[in-house]
Amino acid sequence: MRNDSQDLSVEVEPLKRDSGEVEVILDSICILEPSLAHYQDSLPNNLQVMLLPENDYLPNLEPPGEEDRRMQLVVFLATRDFLERFRLDLWNWIKEYPQREVRFILISTENSNAHAFEPLPSELIHLVLPPQVSPSILGDVVRNAFYQLELRYERLKLQSRLALSTQEMRRIIRVGQAMSTERDFDKLIDLILGQARELVGADAGSIYVTESPRGNEKPQYIRFKKSALELNANEFLLPIDSSSIAGYVALRGEPLIIDDVYALDGHEPYRLNF
């Protein structure tokens, strides 16, 4: 009998999500084929449970839309005969929507082999249980299957974040190399502005540079140099103070994040300048 799980009697805690990311809603759905209706009362109460109608083999789940921040985690309870008969249709159903992760729990007296349900990948079979499995064990197995799906989702999210971080590091390295080798100041400014916009996903951006002070004096002004909007604006100076947002940032030397610059209430330590 195949067993991919650990101690099934242990209560698992929900995974913590990064508060800085856009939250994705995970829909946990447990599906039973018609012949396994008697197992319905054994399932955890916090799940969406769907019992397939007689002579029906494909769940009628509303697919997540492309713009939806939702992910369907599906655990399917099925017999060996059911999965062998409908494996092609079920595989097409799974592949149809990338926002759907599925695992099967088989109720069978026989052990499954790696190729019994092709083209379904063998890793989709979470566990094989005997028909006489107790309700408490079945509930633990189902709960563990959903936990494994959440772990997989978190792992994929971390891999995606790592890939993005690698791209960001390459952009930063590219700028650093250019600052040492690029002799054309305008090209360097274009590169810095372009890479900065890509790094933060900005639609537009501008660059100001500090005016070189005399002697040991601190810089008093910043000079507008470049806009990503290709505006035909002449260079101009702004004082390094709170009379403008750019001047305030230069004064503090810290990042400033404003959700809506047109919704300022006038109590901020800086002013919007046009």
Inter-residue contact 206 to 227 (CB < 8 Å): yes
pLDDT at 145: 92
Cα gap 64→61, rounded to integer Å: 9
Quick: pLDDT tens for 115-138.
Answer: 778 888 888 999 999 988 898 899
Q: What is the DSSP letter of 43?
A: S
pLDDT at 274: 54
What does the pLDDT average to over 161-187? 79
What does the pLDDT average to over 170-174? 79
Quick: pLDDT tens for 176-185.
Answer: 888 888 888 8
Percentage, residues of the chain above pLDDT 90? 11
23 pLDDT above the threshold of 80: no
CATH class of segment(s) 25-161: alpha beta
14 pLDDT above the threshold of 50: no
Peptide bond into 98 cis (omega under 30): no
SS3 call for 87 = helix
Confidence of residue 78 (pLDDT cuts 50, 70, 90): very high
Cα gap 238→222, rounded to integer Å: 5
Quick: pLDDT tens for 102-120.
Answer: 999 999 888 766 577 888 8
Confidence of residue 233 (pLDDT cuts 50, 70, 90): low
Residue with tokens 């399917």: 76
153 pLDDT above the threshold of 50: yes
Inter-residue contact 31 to 104 (CB < 8 Å): no
Cα gap 73→102, rounded to integer Å: 6
Peptide bond into 59 cis (omega under 30): no
Residue range(s) in the chain whose domain bears CATH number 3.40.50.2300: 25-161
Confidence of residue 4 (pLDDT cuts 50, 70, 90): very low
SS3 call for 230 = coil
Inter-residue contact 242 to 271 (CB < 8 Å): yes
1 pLDDT above the threshold of 70: no
pLDDT at 130: 92
Strands annotated E in 81-169: 100-107, 125-129
9 pLDDT above the threshold of 50: no
Confidence of residue 238 (pLDDT cuts 50, 70, 90): confident
Residue with tokens 């891999």: 159
